[in-house]
Structure 1
C-alpha cells in the first residue's frame, strides 16, 4: 500500500482496493511533518457503498479490520447526516436509515487510538420520484372518526417496505392499524385508523421517514420525509335517520339538536349512501352539477353550507328548493338537504372528521372504503387484514 504524507502529521491511503481506507495515526510529527507511526500497523476501513453511482436504498456500513471504531459520521451535501450504531465488537458501524438517491455522502471514521479516515461516494439518481398527499392537514383539530390518510402519486408495489417506514405516535397509546386501499381517484392509498373512535384531546403525530425508500416498479423513489400532526376535538356524531327523515347532532353521546331533512330518493342511484361516512371538508357555497356525478341533467345550481361526505358527491347542505319534503319524504339526488337555517347551524357546529351515520331503510349500502373515509364500515379484523405487515398494534 502506497502512502503520501501531507502537512500536520496526517497520512491518507490512496489507491486502496475495494475502497479500503487506511486509518492514520497522529502519534507525533517529525521535522518534515510526516507521521511517526512507530510500530503501529495500518488498520483498514471499508465502506459498502462506493463510487459515483452507488446503489441507493441501502444502509451505509463501515467496517474496521482491527481495533475498535470510536466514531463514524456520514453526512450529505445538504447538511444532513445519517445516524448509526457501532456493533458490540466495535468493528462495524451501520446507518439507521438508507442512503437517498442522487446524494453525495462523506464518510468520516475514527478508531479508539485516534486514527482517522475519510471517503466519499454518490448514490445513483432517482430517475422516477414518488410523492404523497397527507390528510388531515398539519396542526389541525379534527373529529373522532378522522383517519390518517396518505395518497401516493405513483403506484406502490413495495407496500411492506413503505408501511414499516410510517410511524404513528399518540399521546395516549391509542391502538390502531394501517390499511392499504384504492383511493376513489384510482391511486394507492394507506390509512391509519384507531380500533375505535379517537378519544377527545388525543394528540397524533405521523413521521413518514421515506427518504431513500423505493416504492417499486412504476412508482419510483421517495426523496424526502413527510410529517403531520393533529389534535382530536369534541366527541360529536351526526345521525341521519332515513325512516324518521330527521338528522340529530350528538355530542358526548347526548342529543344537541334534531332537525327535519330529506335524503336521497330510495330505489335508484339517487339513494343516499348508508353506514358511516366521515365529514371530509366544509366547502361553503359551491356549484353542484349532476353531470359530474353521472346523474345526467338533474341539477346545476349553487348550494350553500356544503359539507362533503364522499368523493362521489354525497353532501349534507342547504336545500331550500326541497322544503316540501323535509321531515316527510326522502326526495333528493343523494345528498342530505335541510333548510338554510338548519344547514347553517350544522355547518358551524360540525368538525372535519365527525362521523355521519346514516341508518334506516332506502339507502344503497355502504360507500366503497376509498370513496371518502369509508373504513369505519369494516370490522376491526377486516381492517387489520389490509395492513401489508398484518398486525396493526399500538402507537406509543
Structure 2
C-alpha cells in the first residue's frame, strides 16, 4: 500500500469518482517484434493501443480492472500491486478484453503489463485512492486449531457492515467432506456485526475446514473498506458432548455417543436472574483460574471469588467450573448464580477432557430460556431453516 503524502494530494474515496471516470489509454504503441528497419510515423500510428478502465493516482477502488485492445488479440495481462501480488483475471473469448476476477483495493499502486498474440507489449500503472476508514475482522477459531463438533466459523467486524450480501459473497468455506452449512448474520454480545458459518448438524470428527475471506477491495458500506484478505483453518477433534441435566443435577460427558462419566453438579437457582441458560451453548474458552465478580453480570455484590477450572459458555458469564463452596448441593439442588458448579476433582477432570467447541446441552426445568445467538455461540438453538434465513443471500 502506498502511503498518502498529504491530504491535498489524495482526495477521499467519496470525491474521487471524476478522477476515475475516464479510460487510461496507453499511448505508447505496442512494440512488434520485427527484423530491423525503422517504422514510419504512419506505421506507428497504426499500431494497436490498449485501454485500462482505471487511471491516475485517485482511481476508484472496489472495481474490477478491465484492459481492452482495439485491434488484435490479447495474449496475457498482469495487474500486480507494489508487493507483487497479482489480480487473477481472464481474457475474453474474442481476445479483445481482459477483466480481473478480484476488485482493485483502496490505497494501492498497480502496474499493468500486457502482451498480444501478435507479439506486441505495453505497460501502464495507476493508483487507487486511500480509504476513509478501514474495517478489520476477528476470526474464530484460530489457525491450525483442533476444536469440538459444535464450533462455528465466526467473523466479528470492527465497524458496521451495511453491504452484507456483497461481503458474504466473498467468504469461501471449504471442508474435507462436503459438509452442508450456512452463513448467518447476527449481533455479537458487544453489539458488533458478526457472521457465523454453522453446519446443518454437528461436525463429523476429523473434518478439515478452511476459510478464505477474500475481502481486500470490498466496501463494507459507509466508506468502510477492507484492505486485506483473511484466512483460518481448523480440524474437528473428538466427537463429544457435555449433557447438563437440571433435573438430575448431573453433567455427563459423552464421546461417540457413549457415556464417559457422569458428574454431580449444582446449576443456577431457578426462578430469576440466577437461573442457568438452557438449550445448547458451546465451550468458548478454557480460562483456568479467574476472578468472578457478581457486579460484572448484573447480580449486585453477592460474590467475588477466585474460581478454578473455569470454562466459558456465554459472553454473559455462564461458566462450568469448580465450586467447592457449594459441595452440599451437588447432585441434589440447583443453587448457584447461573453457572454449572462441581467439586474441584470433577471440574478438573472435565477441564482436562473438554475441547474448545464442545457443545453443552442443557435440559430440564428451571432454566431462563436459551441464550441469544450472539451470546457466545448460541446459534444451535435455532432450527436449520431459521438459521439459513439469517444469510444475506437467502
Relative to the length of structure 1, the TM-score reads 0.92
Tell me, yes or no, if the aligned pair for 1:29 and 1:35 is still in contact at 8 Å.
no
The corresponding residue for 1:23 is 30
Q: Which of residues 333, 344, 349 in structure 2 aligns to 1:345?
A: 349
Tell me, yes or no, if the aligned pair for 1:49 and 1:55 is still in contact at 8 Å.
yes
How far is 1:62 from its partner? 0.3
SS across alignment from 1:161? helix
The corresponding residue for 2:325 is 321
The corresponding residue for 1:240 is 244
Q: Spell out, residue by residue over 1:180-210, the C-alpha distance to the aligned partner (whole angstroms, 9 max, x if none).
A: 0000010000000100000000000000010
SS across alignment from 2:210? strand
Q: Does 1:75 align with 2:80?
A: yes
Q: Which of residues 216, 231, 242 in structure 2 aligns to 1:227?
A: 231
How far is 1:19 from its partner? 2.2
SS across alignment from 1:227? strand
The corresponding residue for 2:170 is 165
The corresponding residue for 2:138 is 133
CA gap 1:108/1:164 in 2 versus in 1, 3 angstroms: same
How far is 1:24 from its partner? 2.7
How far is 1:60 from its partner? 0.2
Q: Does 1:385 align with 2:385?
A: no
Q: Distance in 2 between matches of 1:75 and 1:193?
A: 35
Return 5+ residue gaps in structure 2 as ranges: 1-21
SS across alignment from 1:357? strand
The corresponding residue for 1:195 is 200
* Off by >6 Å, runs of 4+ in structure 1: none
Q: Which of residues 364, 368, 390 in structure 2 aligns to 1:364?
A: 368
Return 5+ residue gaps in structure 1 as ranges: 1-16, 391-396
The corresponding residue for 1:120 is 125
How far is 1:37 from its partner? 8.9
Q: Distance in 2 between matches of 1:135 and 1:74?
A: 32
What is the Cα-based RMSD across aligned positions, in Å?
1.3
Tell me, yes or no, if the aligned pair for 1:276 and 1:356 is still in contact at 8 Å.
yes
Q: Distance in 1 between matches of 2:81 and 2:243?
A: 54
What does residue range 152-301 of structure 1 map to in structure 2 within 5 Å? Answer: 152-217=157-222, 220-301=224-305
The corresponding residue for 2:89 is 84
How many residues matched? Answer: 370
Q: Distance in 1 between matches of 2:52 and 2:273?
A: 63
Relative to the length of structure 2, the TM-score reads 0.92
Q: Spell out, residue by residue over 1:59-104, the C-alpha distance to the aligned partner (whole angstroms, 9 max, x if none).
A: 0000011111011111111111111100000001000100010011
How far is 1:116 from its partner? 1.1
